[in-house]
Amino acid sequence: MNKGSKIYVAGHRGLVGGAIVRRLRAAGHDNLVLRTSAELDLKDQAAVRAFFAAERPEVVVLAAARVGGILANDSYPADFIYDNLMIEANVIEAARQVGVRKLLFLGSTCIYPKLAPQPLKEEYLLSGPLEPTNEWYAVAKIAGIKLCQAYRRQYGCDFISAMPTNLYGPGDNFDLEKSHVMPALIRKCHEAKLRGDRTVTVWGSGRPRREFLHVDDCADACVYLLAHYDEEPIVNIGVGEDLTIRELAEMVKEVVGFEGDLVFDASKPDGTPRKLVDVTRLFGLGWRPSIGLREGIEQTYRWFLEQEEVRGVRSEE
Ligand code: GFB
């Protein structure tokens, strides 16, 4: 992959896709092909094939997917399984047809079995029952991994799969119903501070443990894998440490400067008790993360405030 290689980043407006575009541009890649979902519906097989035949990218990053937090996954199972199956099947087959040299498919650590031993090793995939709240997304994503592995075996395609842990950072979805925990807590604490509320509600018991990787670190790892990894096994992307949701909420509360109390709503699902990935394979390839959790939350909150300012200006226009 050289600076002039034509690289198609599917899902460039999403959290991971946006970070990967920033990372590629920072490395001098100036031949990126980008399409919004309005310009190219990846669920439409004919449209995807026509796009690939016309553009003939050399490298593809498949970061487009229907994603969401625990409530969104639990509420829209058909969307999560159908959309993700169609997107991956269309893009992976079209990439093969036009001879794409390298494709990176993005899975997620939430597709490992609910009660797999921790830290999660790549070989634990499919070793037990899935977390019920997101089994629809998980089955689709597992199918995507299997597509890449089958295309490598049958056609010799250099299609690799990465499994990022829970991500956060600029470009995240801050919708309180559909988002993941990090952006939700940042927004809840921020709005509670502005309103002078006495409490912020945290879903679940606060006891589950989660690992958080800043999306710019994830993008750096993805670009590193594109350049250094060409094998069939999947590769976890993470930091190798986790904390409880309660500890996370305390940290966000401090960063945002909300001085009220945290209240835990046990009526909301906890999801899987723990999700810490084993990063031996990735670290063995020579990569390391560089953004610490507190620093990452501070940077994300600054980005959130800049967006709020822009939104505020627009609403006054
Ligand atoms: O981030 P999250 O929605 O997804 O939830 P998962 C993580 C934990 O945070 C759960 C708790 O135990 C939630 O109950 N939590 C506390 C909250 N307060 C909140 C809140 O205000 N909003 C949200 N969303 N959670 C996802 C999968 O699982 O992992 C996705 O559902 C995706 O498919 C993602 O793969 C990486 O970490 O539980």
Q: Is the CB of 276 under 6 A from ligand 1?
A: no
Looking at residue 313, what is its pLDDT?
63
Looking at residue 27, what is its pLDDT?
95
CA distances from 117 to 123, 272, 282 (A): 11, 12, 19
- Report the CATH number that the domain containing residue 230 is assigned in CATH: 3.40.50.720
Per-residue pLDDT reduced to its tens digit, 236-269: 999 999 999 999 999 999 999 999 999 999 999 8
pLDDT at 311 > cutoff 90: no
Looking at the domain assignment, is residue 261 inside a domain? yes
CA of 184 to the centre of ligand 1 (A): 9
Looking at the domain assignment, is residue 2 inside a domain? no
- State the Cα–Cα distance between residues 149 and 277, nearest whole angstrom: 21
Looking at residue 316, what is its pLDDT?
58
Helix (H, G, I), strand (E, B) or coil at 128: coil
Contact 263, 60 (CB under 8 A): no
Protein residue whose Cα sits closest to atom 17 of ligand 1: 181
Looking at residue 178, what is its pLDDT?
85
268 CA: nearest ligand 1 atom: 14
Looking at residue 314, what is its pLDDT?
61
Q: Is the CB of 72 under 6 A from ligand 1?
A: no
CA of 286 to the centre of ligand 1 (A): 30
Whole-number average pLDDT of the chain: 95
What residues contact residue 10 under an 8 Å CB cut-off, 6+ apart? 17, 35, 42, 60, 61, 62, 63, 64, 87, 91
Which of 8, 137, 151, 168 is an active site residue?
A: 137
- State the Cα–Cα distance between residues 93 and 131, nearest whole angstrom: 29
Mean pLDDT of the 281-309 span:
96
Protein residue whose Cα sits closest to atom 28 of ligand 1: 70
Looking at residue 310, what is its pLDDT?
79
Looking at the domain assignment, is residue 64 inside a domain? yes
Looking at residue 235, what is its pLDDT?
98
CA of 169 to the centre of ligand 1 (A): 15
Protein residue whose Cα sits closest to atom 14 of ligand 1: 270
- State the Cα–Cα distance between residues 95 and 83, nearest whole angstrom: 18
Q: How far is CA 278 from the centre of its chain?
A: 17
Mean pLDDT of the 116-124 span:
96
Per-residue pLDDT reduced to its tens digit, 125-157: 999 999 998 899 999 999 999 999 999 999 999
Per-residue pLDDT reduced to its tens digit, 155-208: 999 999 999 999 999 999 999 988 899 999 999 999 999 999 999 999 999 999
CA distances from 290 to 92, 221, 238, 287, 296 (A): 31, 11, 11, 10, 10
Looking at residue 154, what is its pLDDT?
98
Looking at residue 295, what is its pLDDT?
98
Looking at the domain assignment, is residue 194 inside a domain? yes
Domain boundaries, position 177: 7-316
Contact 23, 216 (CB under 8 A): yes
Backbone φ and ψ for 311, nearest 5 degrees, come out as: -65, -40
Looking at residue 68, what is its pLDDT?
87
- State the Cα–Cα distance between residues 198 and 201, nearest whole angstrom: 10
Looking at the domain assignment, is residue 1 inside a domain? no
Looking at the domain assignment, is residue 93 inside a domain? yes
Mean pLDDT of the 67-87 span:
92
Tokens representing 145 are 């991994």
Per-residue pLDDT reduced to its tens digit, 39-65: 999 999 999 999 999 999 999 999 999
| Known catalytic residue at 112 | no
What is the reported pTM?
0.94
- Total domains, the chain: 1
Looking at the domain assignment, is residue 264 inside a domain? yes
pLDDT at 297 > cutoff 90: yes
Looking at residue 315, what is its pLDDT?
59
210 CA: nearest ligand 1 atom: 37
Looking at the domain assignment, is residue 234 inside a domain? yes
Contact 277, 242 (CB under 8 A): no
Backbone φ and ψ for 51, nearest 5 degrees, come out as: -60, -50
Q: Which candidate, 72, 92, 304, 76, places its Cα nearest to that of 203? A: 72
Q: Is the CB of 73 under 6 A from ligand 1?
A: yes
